[in-house]
């Protein structure tokens, strides 16, 4: 279990995985895909960063634009997944 800062999420692991793979190659192409997914109801934004409970780390990758580690997390008790900078994740020593 962890907490993290998120600004957007997707309602399928497949959508967030597509976004993550494209983000590794091109931030601009990832933005285009995110807008497409958002318009089709598969992803959305919260308007600002929010703190959420994170349930399961699916995978991580290196963001080629700045070298940061990005993690793909399932949000706790929801069918939503988000891209979260590793530096914005805090692991908790509890089980829910």
User: Quick one: how many helices (H) and strands (E) in the chain?
Assistant: 2, 5
- For residue 64, give every residue at least 6 positions away whose Cβ sits within 8 Å of its Cβ, in sequence order, or none: 24, 25
pLDDT score recorded for residue 69: 96
**Residue 68 tokens, joined:** 């940061």
Residue 2's CB is within 10 A of a number of other CB atoms, namely 17
Q: Which of 72, 43, 68, 77 is nearest to 58 (CA)?
A: 72
Q: Which residues of the chain have pLDDT under 50?
A: none
**Residue 17 tokens, joined:** 């995985």
Domain positions in the chain are 2-91
**Helix H or strand E segment including 10:** strand 2-10
pTM: 0.91
pLDDT score recorded for residue 92: 83
Q: How many residues does the chain have?
A: 96
pLDDT in tens, 59-85: 999 988 888 999 999 999 999 999 999
């Amino acid at each position: 279990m962890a907490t993290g800062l998120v600004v957007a999420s997707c309602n399928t692991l497949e959508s967030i995985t597509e976004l993550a793979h494209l983000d590794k190659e091109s931030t601009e192409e990832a933005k285009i895909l995110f807008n497409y997914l958002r318009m089709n109801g598969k992803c959305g934004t919260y308007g600002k960063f929010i703190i959420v409970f994170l349930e399961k780390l699916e995978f991580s990758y290196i963001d080629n634009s700045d070298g940061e580690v990005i993690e793909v997390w399932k949000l706790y008790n929801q069918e939503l997944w988000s891209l979260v900078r590793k530096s914005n994740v805090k692991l908790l020593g509890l089980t829910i």
